[in-house]
Amino acid sequence: GAFGSNRGLRPVPPEKGIFALDHMHLCDLEKKEYLSCLKSSGHTSEKCRHLSKKYLQCCMEKNLMAKQDMSELGFGKESNMEASGQEVNERIDNQS
């Protein structure tokens, strides 16, 4: 039936969660900054990406998750865009 067709199959946990498990609270500051940013931005995650990157870097430094290149976690292109956007803003400011 519709409700019993998956019996016997074990659910598989996701490879990565939203936050790495931090039972010792080693990266609490970074996590709280990110969650605070989400709350103040109306849960617009794009505005808080720099803080999620900071949190993930902390987790990797504290061995809470495997070390990976940030581009594999979706941050490579954003960093380039942020840098070029910053350069454009600096040029605009200098022309004023």
For 73-90, the pLDDT digits (tens) are 888 764 444 443 444 334
Which is more confidently placed, 43 or 2?
43
Candidates 24, 65, 86, 74; CA nearest to 45 is 74
**Residues with Cβ within 8 Å of residue 54, at least 6 apart in sequence:** 30, 33, 34
pTM check: above 0.75 = no
Check the CA dihedral 28-31-36-39 and report its sign: negative
Q: How many whole angstroms separate alpha carbon 23 and alpha carbon 51?
A: 20
